[in-house]
Amino acid sequence: MEKIELEITGMHCASCATVLTRALERTPGVKKANVNLATRRATTEVDTATEADLIKTIEGKGYGAKPAVAGMHEDHTGAEHVHHFRKLLVLAAAFTIPAVLIGMLFMEDGLLFTGVEIEKGVWLIALLATPVQFIAGWPFYQGAWKALKHFTSNMDTLIALGTSVAYVYSLYVVIFRGDGAQYFEVAAVLITLVLLGKFLESRATQKTSQAIEKLVNMAPKMATVIRGKKEVKIPVDDVKTGDLCKVRPGEKVPVDGVIIEGHSSIDESMITGESIPVEKSKGSDVIGATINTTGSFVMKATKVGTDTTLSRIVNLIYEAQGRKAPIQRFADIVSSYFVPAVLVVAVLTFVGWLLFGGATLEFAIISAVAVLVIACPCALGLATPTAIMVGTGKGAQHGILIKGGDALETLHKVKHVVFDKTGTVTKGKPEVTDIITMGKASEQDVLRIAASLEHESEHPLAQAIVADSKAKRLKLSKIKAFRSLTGKGIEGKIGTTTYRIGNPRWIGLENAKVMQLESQGKTVMALAQGRKTLGVIAVADTLRDTSKQAVLQLEQMGITVHLLTGDNKRTAQAIAHQAGITQVHAEVHPDQKEAQIAALQKRGTVLMVGDGVNDAPALARADVGIAMGSGTDVAMETGSVVLMRNDILDVVRAIKLSKMTMRKIKQNLFWALVYNIAGIPVAAGLLYPFTGWLLSPMIAGGAMALSSVSVVTNSLHLRAQKLK
C-alpha cells in the first residue's frame, strides 16, 4: 500500500472536498481517500493507482492538483491563498462602496435629484456593479460551472445563482420597465461580503498552521561541509549522507548525524521541550535544527533531506491535519446533501410566494436569493478540520505528535491504558541504585574498584557502574590479569591485589540485604578483595520521574492502568508497585502482547504505550498506539501518537488535548447546524406573515461569512487553553 499526497487548488467549500473525496475513492486502484478543505490537501492510500491517475481524476472534476512536496523550505503558511482573496476583496470593495453610496443618494425620487438624474444614477450603479459581478465574482462562476459539468452543486452554485438572479432582474427592470426596485448594489455587496468572509476565513485558517510554520523556520539554511582539508558553505539541501560537517558555537546542527570529533552542549528544546542543554561528545547522536551552545565539533551526516527528525515531525503533523476524524463523516454526509436541498428550498420559496403567497415577483426573488446565500455549508465543512489542525498543532508544540484526526478523537474515549515496562514506565537504561559497604571500605572505594574492573566491558550493567563513577569524577585504576568468567563475573588485579565482582553466590555472599534488593527487581553484584567482601552494588532500570504521577492522574480520570512486559514477575511487580500500577501482566512474549490487547478491547477502548520493536504488534492492535520518541523507528511508525519528550505525563496531556478538541468540534458542529436550521426559514420568509421579518440578501451574506469565521475563531481558542 502506497500513500500519495496532493495539493489541490480551486476548492471553496465543504461540498468541493466531498465531491473530490468521492471521485478519488471511485478511481481504480485507490483504497482510501480524504480531501481536507482546511489544508487544501488530498491524502490517498493506493495499491495500483498512480500519481498521474489521481491528478487526472481531480482535474476531470475541474480542480487543479500537484504533488505535495515534503521539503523543508516550502511556504506552508497559506499566504498565497490569503493574497488571492485580498486582491478580489479590494477590487470588489473599490466598486461596491461607491455603488452603495450612490444608491443611498438616489434612494427616493425627488429627494436630491430629478428623475432624469436618478435614471443616470441607476445606470452608474449598474456600471459599478458589473465588474464586481463578473470579475471579483468570477471564481464563483468557475466553481459553479465545474460542479454543473459533473452534475453536482456547491457553495459557488448558491452564490453565483443568487447574485446572478438579483443582477439580471435589476437589469430587466432598468431596461424594460424603466422604474421599480433594482438590486445591483445588493448583488455587489453580497459578493463583497462573501469575499470578506473568505479572506477572514483564510487568515484564520492560516493561523492554524503556525505550528508547522514555526518548525519549518527552525530549519537551518546553510551547512559547513569539510571537503578534503577545506571547509565549504553549502545549502543544507545539498548535504549528503556521510558528509562531514563542522558546527561552531551558536550555529544550528544542519542535519541529523553523529559526532566524530569534539564535544559540546546542545539545546534540544525544539525537539524535547527541555530547556537544559544536553552534553554531547564523540559517538553522541545530534539532531538537525538543534542549537550548538558551547564547543565546536565535527559530525557525520546520517539522515538528510526528508529523513531528518525535523522533516519527519513536519510530515507527521501534515498527516495528522489531513486525516479525517470519524466525527467528520457526519459533517460530510450533511454537506453532500445540503446544497441540493437548499436549491430545492429556494425554488419552493420563489414559487410559494409568487403563486400562493400573493407576493410580488420582486419579493419572491429576494426571498429565494436570501435562502441561497445564507445556506452556505462552509461553517459545517470547517467545523472539524480546523479544530483538528489547531489540536494537532498544539500537541506538536508540546512534543506530542498526533498522526491523525482519528487518533485525536479516539483518545478521549480511552478506558484502559497499557504501558510497556522497559523504556516506557522505566528509563530503559540501567542505573546504580544502591552501594552498600562492608568492613572499612567506603562507597567511593567500592564504586572506583568496581568501575575499574568493569571499564572494558560492554555489558549494560557494567556500563551503568562506569557511568556512575564518571558522574562522581572518580579516577579509575589500571587492571592487570583481567579474566571474565561466564555466568559468574570478572576478576583482575590492581597492583598486586586481586579483586572480583559478580554474582553474590559466586563471591560467597548471601544475606538478607542482598535478598531484599533482589526482591525489588534489582540486579545485585558483590565486590570482593580476595576472600573478603568489600560491598555490594545494586543496578536497576529505574522508574521515569513522572511515571507515578502519570499513573495517578490516569486513575483519577477513571482509566484503568496496566503493565505489560516480557520481564519476570518479580521485577514487573516491583516496578508496578513503585509506579502505583495494580494490573500487571508479566512474562508475556512479544507475539502474546497483541492477544492481551485484543482481550482488553472487549472491556473498552485501549491505549497502548511502548517503545520497542516487540511492542509494534500491540501498538497496531490497540485503538490508539503511543510510541516513545526515544523508541525504535518501527514503534514510532506503528504508533498513531509519538511522544518526542519521552515524558510519560504526555500520555495524560494527549488525552486531555483530545477531550478539549472534541469539545470544540461539537461546539462548532452545533452552532453551524443551528445557524443553518434557524437561518433558512427566516430567509424563506416564513416569519414574515407573523412578524414582518424578512432577511435581506446583504444581511444573509454577512451572516454566512460571520458563521465561517466564528467556527474557525472558536477552534483557535484551543491555542490559549493549557495542557496541565
CA contacts within 13 A on the Cβ side of 160:
19
* pTM for this predicted structure: 0.63
Measured distance CA(203)–CA(199) in Å, rounded = 6
Grid cell, residue 379, equals 461553517
Per-residue pLDDT, averaged over 458-484, amounts to 85
Measured distance CA(212)–CA(320) in Å, rounded = 12
pLDDT digits (tens, 9 = 90+) for 171-203: 887 887 766 667 788 788 878 877 876 776 666
Q: Which residues are catalytic?
A: 420
Grid cell, residue 257, equals 548525524
Tell me what pLDDT residue 723 has: 77
Q: Are 294 and 264 in contact (CB under 8 A)?
A: yes
Percent of the chain predicted with pLDDT > 90? 21
What rounded mean pLDDT belongs to the chain?
81
Query: Among 611, 591, 574, 613, which residue's Cα sits nearest to residue 419?
Result: 611
Partner residues linked to 4 by β-bridges: 44
Q: Are 709 and 200 in contact (CB under 8 A)?
A: yes
Measured distance CA(649)–CA(548) in Å, rounded = 9
Q: Which residue bears the cell 516496578?
A: 575
Dihedral (C-alpha) 551, 556, 557, 562: value to the nearest 10 degrees? 30
Q: How confident is the model at residue 327 (pLDDT cuts 50, 70, 90)?
A: low
Tell me what pLDDT residue 87 has: 92
Grid cell, residue 145, equals 460551472
Measured distance CA(656)–CA(624) in Å, rounded = 14
More confident call, 13 vs 352: 352
Tell me what pLDDT residue 698 has: 63
Q: How confident is the model at residue 130 (pLDDT cuts 50, 70, 90)?
A: very high
Per-residue pLDDT, averaged over 312-341, amounts to 64
b/e burial code for range 519-551 (CB count within 10 A of at least 16 → b): ebbbbbbbbbbeeebbbbbbbbbbbbebbbebb
Cβ-Cβ contacts under 8 Å for 176 (sequence gap 6 or more): none
Residue 475 pLDDT greater than 80, yes or no: yes
pLDDT digits (tens, 9 = 90+) for 568-590: 787 788 889 889 999 999 878 66
Percent of the chain predicted with pLDDT > 70? 83
Per-residue pLDDT, averaged over 539-557, amounts to 91
Per-residue pLDDT, averaged over 97-103, amounts to 85
Q: How confident is the model at residue 77 (pLDDT cuts 50, 70, 90)?
A: very low
Residue 301 pLDDT greater than 90, yes or no: yes
Measured distance CA(243)–CA(236) in Å, rounded = 11
Per-residue pLDDT, averaged over 129-152, amounts to 85
Residue 599, number of CB atoms within 10 A of its CB: 11
Largest CA distance in the chain: 123
Q: Strands of 222-227's sheet, edge to edge?
A: 230-235, 222-227, 244-247, 297-303, 256-262, 285-286
Tell me what pLDDT residue 307 has: 83
pLDDT digits (tens, 9 = 90+) for 9-43: 877 666 677 778 888 998 999 998 888 776 778 88
Q: Are 536 and 394 in contact (CB under 8 A)?
A: no
Sequence-ordered alpha helix ranges (H) in 32-183 = 51-60, 79-105, 115-131, 138-149, 155-172
Phi, psi of 289 (to 5 degrees): 85, -10
Is residue 227 classed exposed, middle or buried when 0-12, 13-18 and 19+ CB atoms within 10 A define those classes? exposed
* SS3 at position 297: strand
More confident call, 565 vs 73: 565
Phi, psi of 63 (to 5 degrees): -115, 165
Per-residue pLDDT, averaged over 55-74, amounts to 75
Residue 274 pLDDT greater than 60, yes or no: no
Q: Which residue bears the cell 540485604?
A: 513
pLDDT digits (tens, 9 = 90+) for 225-272: 998 889 999 999 899 999 999 999 989 999 999 999 998 888 876 665
Per-residue DSSP letters for 153-217?
--HHHHHHHHHHHHHHHHHHIIIIISSS---HHHHHHHHHHHHHHHHHHHHHHHHTTHHHHHHHH
Is residue 76 classed exposed, middle or buried when 0-12, 13-18 and 19+ CB atoms within 10 A define those classes? buried
Per-residue DSSP letters for 350-410?
HHIIIIIS---HHHHHHHHHHHHHHT-THHHHHHHHHHHHHHHHHHHHTTEEE--HHHHHH
Tell me what pLDDT residue 448 has: 92
Per-residue pLDDT, averaged over 108-131, amounts to 68
Q: Are 109 and 122 in contact (CB under 8 A)?
A: no
Is residue 721 classed exposed, middle or buried when 0-12, 13-18 and 19+ CB atoms within 10 A define those classes? middle
Q: How confident is the model at residue 78 (pLDDT cuts 50, 70, 90)?
A: low
Per-residue pLDDT, averaged over 530-544, amounts to 87
Tell me what pLDDT residue 76 has: 45
Sequence-ordered alpha helix ranges (H) in 604-648 = 616-621, 633-638
pLDDT digits (tens, 9 = 90+) for 650-671: 999 999 999 999 999 889 888 8
Q: How confident is the model at residue 204 (pLDDT cuts 50, 70, 90)?
A: low
Measured distance CA(412)–CA(624) in Å, rounded = 10
Query: Among 421, 430, 427, which residue's Cα sits nearest to residue 615?
Result: 421
Residue 478, number of CB atoms within 10 A of its CB: 10
Q: How confident is the model at residue 134 (pLDDT cuts 50, 70, 90)?
A: very high
Q: Are 290 and 266 in contact (CB under 8 A)?
A: yes
Per-residue pLDDT, averaged over 211-226, amounts to 79
Per-residue pLDDT, averaged over 400-417, amounts to 87
Is residue 220 classed exposed, middle or buried when 0-12, 13-18 and 19+ CB atoms within 10 A define those classes? buried
* SS3 at position 298: strand
pLDDT digits (tens, 9 = 90+) for 682-708: 888 887 888 777 776 667 666 766 777
Measured distance CA(93)–CA(186) in Å, rounded = 13
Rg (CA), the chain: 34
Q: What element of type H or E holds 528? A: strand 523-529
Grid cell, residue 483, equals 579474566
Tell me what pLDDT residue 122 has: 82
Q: Are 550 and 648 in contact (CB under 8 A)?
A: yes
Query: Among 516, 596, 582, which residue's Cα sits nearest to residue 552?
Result: 582
DSSP category for residue 16 = H
Residue 104 pLDDT greater than 50, yes or no: yes
